Amino acid sequence: MSAFLVLKNEHRVIEQVLNCLEKIAEEGVKGDKLNGEAAGQALEFFKYFADRCHHGKEEDHLFPMMEANGFPREGGPTGVMLYEHDLGRKHIQGMRTQLAAASAGNTEAVLQFAGHARDYVRLLRDHINKEDHCLFAMAERALSPDKQAELYAAFERVETEHMGEGTHERWLAVANALAEQYDVPRATETANHSGCCGHH
């Protein structure tokens, strides 16, 4: 298992919950009331799994390693990815701000939540596509096998030391429960690996 495959597999789980969020928002707009429990679970997933764990691996380990191997941050690919991570956090905060009122049936809050949800889904799908098909390929070519092994080991430490044992299983269970509730296909390709966020 390479460090880049770890990140790509995590992307599949994130996409699974993006598909759920899309349906949660659509359902809220149609019914003039948000399913607060499901929306809250999705937001917690994005906060801890997508941002703290997945983006944390990229920001604390992958991007600095790329920059140390010749990729500039200013005007370079890691700078673009960091900007998009921050933009995603703003949309998460926007959804979180509207969550209580939208769950209580406030129509304007539902529309505000749905607007942030749509923007977040669109942003992350595009972001994931750029990483999967451009950024990771560039990094894989630039980093030696030893550096890639070092990166994978750093990702393992994120799981055990930073996130805590069992965290990835917990968030995968949340992702799968939401997928079942909203009839979204599961990211089954992650099911055969353990040890990194999103792998069962």
| Region for 35 from its dihedrals, namely left if φ exceeds 0, alpha if ψ lies in -120 to 50, beta otherwise | beta
The pLDDT of residue 160 is: 85
Q: Is the residue at 49 inside a domain? A: yes
Q: Is 39 domain-assigned? A: yes
Q: Which pLDDT tens digit goes with each residue over 38-63?
A: 999 999 999 999 999 999 999 999 99
**Which pLDDT value is given to residue 199?**
41
| 53 within domain boundaries | yes
Examine residue 199 and state whether it is found in any structural domain, yes or no.
no
Distance between CA atoms of residues 118 and 100, nearest Å = 18
Residue 198 covered by a domain: no
Quote the pLDDT of residue 166. 80
Instruction: Supply the pTM of this predicted model.
Output: 0.93
What span, in angstroms and rounded, lies between the C-alpha atoms of 58 and 65?
Answer: 9
Question: What is the C-alpha end-to-end distance of the chain, expressed in Å?
Answer: 14
What gap in Å lies between CA 178 and CA 124, rounded to an integer?
18
Asked whether the predicted pLDDT for residue 184 surpasses 80, the reply is yes
Is there a domain that residue 181 lies in? Answer: yes
**DSSP secondary structure, 108-137, as one string:** HHHHHHHHHHHHHHHHHHHHHHHIIIIIHH
Query: Which pLDDT belongs to residue 198?
Result: 42
Alpha-carbon separation of residue 150 from 61, 72, 145, 199 (angstroms) = 10, 21, 9, 20
Q: Domains in the chain: how many in total?
A: 1
Please give the residue range of the domain that contains residue 7.
3-190
Structure-model confidence comparison of residues 170 and 195, the more confident one: 170
Q: Classify residue 200: in a domain, yes or no.
A: no
Residue 164 lies inside a defined structural domain of this protein: yes
In contact, 171 and 10? CB cutoff 8 Å: no
Q: What is the CATH number of the domain that holds 106?
A: 1.20.120.520
